[in-house]
Chains A and B, each alone.
Chain A
């Protein structure tokens, strides 16, 4: 394999970025209301030139205020889940690891539901109330990954298989807890909650919340990317990495917390969208190899592209009704995953 250079990294990221841009433009075009590609191109040009006042108000409302925020949310959630999946797979040296298998997503879901249940009883300032659910999601994710981490320890060392099993058990325990918590919700919230649990992107965050998500995402993604070289060395084994001068303990904690933060934010916004964190890193590894310095950004772009496409399908297949995007990713993801698994074995 050719050595990775900064220019090659930027070239590959630019290509992926261009694909993401094209997918986003197409996603802007498709939806319940017909929008012509020409009109869309003209309006996008006006936005880039800073002349958004000239756009007809209907276009601006539907394309810029309804579709675009939702597409950006899909980009954010897809990238978060994929980065988290890549990190967990590297840390545990197990390709089956992902936020769902490890119970992190279920933890985030429990945290979000608890936050929703508690929030009306606390007299919170509106600014805090707006970020209360994602905060609950993040805390739930951190608690879940901490629990799974301790479950996976054997004689002071992490045993990857035990950890995965611990994750599976934690996830099933937490799903039972979710089912119980849901019965405590008033029926109007219940309907929304069951929909949210299937994974959906219709709840575009408010402005302050959007900033929290954006900053949280950038910090967590940057922190994980800083450890990319260490993750590469970790692939050859913990002992080997330690001998090569990697502070394994520190890397592990930093990446666990950052990946949990990404998962928590994503789940709080969009519920359980499965398979993105599992599948996208696999596909990207096949294309770009397992050097995390390229794999992490590639997975971020790949996850974003995959989720924007899935959400566009969710918006259009049964239009004007909207399907939960989690159902789309699962229906597309499960067979694809089995195919990849069989091909790998062969």
Chain B
């Protein structure tokens, strides 16, 4: 076989192929145009990860790539700007009628581009950095939110409203959330925090680390997580939990009956049955809104506090209402 060709065969073929490759190469050079249509005026804002984002004035079309951001937009009353969201955006139910651009992790870039958004909203804790890079490459503005605590949710929502061109809506929402929060803390000021185990998953047992906003939400509800991990979603050993004996188990769920059944099942399992909280059916159910850093979290926290500290929500309620009113009048 080798003799049928001159020995320079391979070299010639490679040379020819290289020539072809470089002949095609310039094709890519003249296609960097496109992207957003020219608008009258722009301004540059900083997002919460420190990136500079160029947004038009006014913002007319917004795509949200995270359920929490979709909720925030509705809470701000700015849902008319929302032209697209993800398949996970299910609250409020009206959000499910918006145009879906795919999942939060794997959205379709072309669906996003076809909606011609002025700005795409992402959240650092959920969306992928690659998604933001691809949007940048296409010249589509991507604004990233990055709240880590309850307080940051308020400032984050306020900042979002300002970026979208309605700072007043942000201030109103911020004030009302602060009012809820102040009223709650007033009630909880004299109670000792309950030691709780927040259960993300039972098999294997996954809880939350100290740097998550869920850990912060627990503190605001008058609870403290027995888990002190610096990982966000640590897998915990049941032995360690039996040693720590949390006073309450906290589940995130939309259905408290289902949780009640789950605890019944857990009570029959070795290890779990050694937990006092399981033995005495001491568990609380927080709305699954706790998984989303959005305004709805505030009422979820208040709801959890009511379950953990029922005594704080009886006689003092009148005084705290007055406090709430004074805050509102400021």
Contacts and interface: CB of A to CB of B under 8 A. Distances in A.
Interface of A: 3-6, 9-10, 31-33, 47, 50, 52-53, 57-58, 60-62, 64-68, 72, 183, 186-189, 191-192, 195, 200, 202-204, 206, 210, 214, 218, 222, 225-229, 232-233, 291, 293, 297, 315, 319-323
A186 B114 CA distance: 32
A320 B100 contact: yes
B33 A53 contact: yes
B106 interface: yes
Interface residues of B, number: 55
A32 B102 CA distance: 10
A229 B9 contact: yes
A298 to B, nearest CB: 12
B315 interface: no
A47 B129 CA distance: 31
Nearest to A292: B10
A315 B109 CA distance: 10
A192 B105 contact: yes
9 shortest A-B CB distances, which residue pairs?
Answer: A3-B4, A192-B128, A320-B108, A320-B102, A321-B102, A60-B34, A32-B108, A187-B232, A203-B130
Contacts of B10: 225-229, 293
B312 to A, nearest CB: 33
Contacts of A52: 30-31, 33
A33 B114 contact: yes
Given A33-B110, A229-B10, A322-B102, 15 more contacts: A5-B5, A32-B110, A47-B31, A52-B31, A52-B33, A60-B33, A61-B34, A62-B114, A65-B34, A187-B232, A192-B105, A203-B134, A297-B13, A319-B102, A320-B107
Contacts of A31: 108, 110
A82 to B, nearest CB: 15
A204 B27 contact: no
B87 interface: yes
A116 to B, nearest CB: 10
13 contacts: A3-B5, A6-B5, A61-B34, A186-B232, A191-B128, A192-B105, A203-B130, A229-B9, A291-B1, A293-B10, A320-B107, A321-B87, A322-B106
A18 B14 CA distance: 19
Contacts of A50: 30
Contacts of A233: 2
Nearest to B35: A61
B13 A6 contact: yes
Contacts of A61: 34-35, 113, 138
A303 to B, nearest CB: 15
Given A6-B13, A65-B34, A293-B9, A204 B137 contact: yes
Contacts of A210: 28
Interface in B129-155: 129-131, 133-134, 137-138
Contacts of B12: 6
B135 to A, nearest CB: 11
Nearest to A291: B1
B21 interface: yes
A58 B114 contact: yes
Contact of B110 (A67, A189, A214): A67
B18 interface: yes
Contact of B124 (A183, A188, A200, A321): A188
Contacts of B288: none
A39 to B, nearest CB: 14
Contacts of B125: 187-188
Central interface residue in A195, A206, A322, by most chain B CB within 10 Å: A322
B95 to A, nearest CB: 16
B155 to A, nearest CB: 20
B192 interface: no
A3 B14 CA distance: 19
Nearest to A67: B110
Given A232-B1, A293-B9, A47 B27 contact: yes
Contacts of B290: none
A204 B32 CA distance: 14
A77 to B, nearest CB: 15
A218 B105 CA distance: 33
B2 A229 contact: yes
A3 B1 CA distance: 6
Contact of B138 (A6, A65, A189, A203): A65
A315 B108 contact: yes
Given A65-B138, A202-B106, A203-B130, A222 B101 contact: no
B14 A226 contact: yes
A297 B21 CA distance: 13
B46 interface: no
A4 B32 CA distance: 41
Contact of A187 (B2, B27, B31, B233): B233
A191 B128 CA distance: 8
Given A203-B130, A293-B9, A322-B102, A66 B1 contact: no
Contacts of B21: 214, 218
A225 B14 contact: yes
A206 B111 CA distance: 21
Interface in B1-51: 1-2, 4-5, 7, 9-14, 16-18, 21, 25, 27-28, 30-35, 37
B202 interface: no
A177 to B, nearest CB: 18
A202 B109 contact: yes
B319 interface: no
A206 B126 contact: no
Contacts of A68: 31
A315 B111 CA distance: 11
B134 A202 contact: yes
B31 A60 contact: yes
